[in-house]
Structure 1
Amino acid sequence: MIAALLLLAYATTVGVVGVRLLRRPWSTRAPRAAILGWQVVSTSVVLAILLAAVALALPFLPMRFSLAYLLGAHTITVVEHYETPLGILPGVASLGIAALCAAMLAATTACTYWRTARVRRSQRDALLLVGSPHPDGFTVIDHAVPVAYCLPGGSGTVVLSTAALEILTDRERELVLGHEHRHLRARHHLALAYADALTRTFPWVPLFTAAHEQVTVLLEMTADDAASGVEDRRVLAKALVALSTGVRPEAALAASDTAALQRVRRLTATPSPPRRGAGLLVGVASVVALSVPVGLALAPAIEAATRDCCSLTAPPARA
């Protein structure tokens, strides 16, 4: 039971501390590392809660035999280390809740995926009717509002309106296209889908809500950085301002309508020196964050195996 309590305490602590650490200014200077951080923290919390349920239910799960065999311990000793004073009731209840939550997450993910795929397919079909291909590899739609966005799926589709082509210079257009192509190449829609599924399934968890909001903005910043060098940042910022009146269609990724003001200020500010250690630090922290729940869940079984080993190797007592 102690393992389950420690796992729940770990999930709570990581959920609170992780949000505070990842909301700090460093995240906008290293958006890719920050996106990884949000994903790992969210995954670590989910993993810890699922393992807590398994730890409570382990005394009556068939996997107790495999775990004991794997660690070279007696099954009875392993079960004793996971038993609760209330018997199997906490295990049954926690396993049922965990299974329900997992089913809700799977159902939400599947429904969102099929709905989004249907919307994007409908939009691509509409583009075949109202859009015209451009020699530079994007689709042009006749629209009085400046719009630039991309539709993931297959090889992806980048769309610019005629109004956008009129107000953007050649260099600005190249940067906007680079921004959209970065979304498609890096499959940013998958990161958004993961954060969106957690938020829709567990809207009462502040961590998942914050992760969805921050990942949405950080993905745009990542695309900004990939599309522009140091000398082009102000040019891209000018293009974002020019496109700020446009609105992207549902299920599309757009260059201008997500945290546009924050991104323009970031692009026009004096570039901060890159923090090369941020990625490495986040990588190490990610490994630790995902390893700790597994270690806490296995700690009682490892202790049981150690005691069995010590009892077998201890010398016989003298008469």
Structure 2
Amino acid sequence: MTMVVTAVTLALLAVVLLGPVSHLLPRAGWAVAEPRATLVLWQAIGLSAGLAALGAVAAVAVAPLSDTLFGALRRFAERFVAGEPTGGLGPLHTVLLMVAVVLGARLLGVLALSAWRTVRARGRHRRMVDLIGTPLTADRDGLVLDHPAPAAYCLPGGTPRVVLTSGALELFDDAELAAVLAHERAHLAERHDLVVLPFAAWSAALPWLPTVRRSRAAVDGLVEMVADDRACLHADRTVLACALARFGTAGVPAGALAATGTGSVLTRVHRLLDPPPRSPRLRYALVTVAVTLLALPTAALLLSGV
């Protein structure tokens, strides 16, 4: 297909993923049955939509240089080395090329900046809790802060911490406390901070885009469900549900992940008390769709001119 057809195909893919797919997926009832696979699907949607959008703009921008992507890139590189990067491109194509470069740089830059800020905030908070916190009995990574409000959260990173308040210790019995600790350690083991990071970064970069806000909220809820499931390997589901219900919606410091999370606590409690049936077939289908979505923009660009 020609470069123009490639651009149209990629643009349609980006619109579909950012529009109806991102609008309908958070409402899918089956997502709570397979939260881990749904997380993979959300990541694939984000990457595929970004690649498709950038690829569509770039394909239109360099279309005058060749009917194939590789030919266009080769000629662009030759002109760039010769000091004439816009040679052979009209004003509109030059503008589109600049848009593609700026948009790609902005998305990557925002991601890097968000990661840096999160690591800094997390480091400051870790130093603070190390200074004023007291070790949790028989727990090397658990620290207790003297505060009446019940709270429990984890600080991921090279030296992870699980933090609780004295109010949480007074609120929970031993079984509930063990369940909450298992949930926080699940976040650390799964490195959910890395899963959430790109969605949080792009939500900050594009707060006016409803799709980004919906995806951020959906991913936040799904990581909590995944942590719930892993915690239930070491704790009773009913005990964890009771702990969440008693917890309410306590605040969470910047860069931390908490048992109450930012998703719907009521939805999670209901899911723990009445777990949906697991479906290996659904899980494999979601992963297959995710892999296909990642392959589509790449295949469209590689097949341009064929």
- Say whether the 8 Å CA contact 2:143–2:161 is kept in structure 1: yes
Who is 2:47 aligned against? 43
Q: Deviations over 1:91-116 (max 9, x none)?
A: 32222111111222222222222222
Aligned twin of 2:188: 184
Deviating runs (4+, > 6 A) in structure 1? Answer: 60-65
- CA change 1:246–1:9 in 2 (3 A) is closer
Deviations 1:238-273 (A, max 9, x none): 11122225322222111024221221122122x222
CA RMSD of aligned residues (A): 2.6
Counterpart CA distance in 1 for 2:122 and 2:183 is 19
Aligned-residue offset at 1:63? 12
User: Contact 1:22–1:34 at 8 Å: present in 2 too?
Assistant: no
Q: Does 1:136 align with 2:147?
A: no
Which residue of the other structure, out of 260, 264, 267, is the alignment partner of 2:265?
A: 260
Segment of structure 1 superposing worse, 284-293 or 228-237: 228-237
Counterpart residue number, 1:83:
none
| 2:163 matches 1:159 | yes
Q: How does 1:212-227 map to 2 (within 5 A)?
A: 212-227=216-231
Give the whole-Å Cα distance in 2 for the aligned partners of 1:66 and 1:101. 21
2:124 to 109, 122, 125: 122
> What are the residue-to-residue correspondences of 1:197-216 with 2, within 5 Å?
197-216=201-220
Amino acid at match of 1:43: L
Deviates more, 1:222-231 or 1:281-290: 222-231
**CA shift digits 1:73-99 (9 cap, x unpaired):** xxxxxxxxxxxxx96444322221111
Return the alpha-carbon distance in structure 1 between the equivalents of residues 54 and 204 of structure 2: 18
With over 3 angstroms needed to count, the CA separation of the structure-2 counterparts of 1:68 and 1:113, relative to structure 1, is: closer
- Structure 1 pair 12/240, CA: closer, same or farther in 2 (3 Å)? same
* TM-score, structure 2 as length reference: 0.85
Distance (whole Å) between structure 1 residues aligned to residue 129 and residue 115 of structure 2: 21
Does 2:172 correspond to 1:168? yes
Q: Is the 8 A contact 1:144 1:161 kept in 2?
A: yes
Residues 1:182 and 1:67: Cα distance change in structure 2 (over 3 Å): farther
Cα distance in 2 for residues equivalent to 1:46 and 1:131:
42
Cα offset for 1:60? Answer: 6.2
Larger Rg: 1
Question: Percent identity among equivalent residues?
Answer: 35
1:2 positional shift: 2.0
Q: Which residue of 2 aligns with 1:11?
A: 14
Q: Tell me the residue number matched to 1:299.
A: 303
Structure 1 portions without partners, runs of 5+: 71-85, 303-319
Is the Cα contact below 8 Å between 2:64 and 2:89 reproduced in 1?
Answer: no
**Counterpart residue number, 2:94:** 92
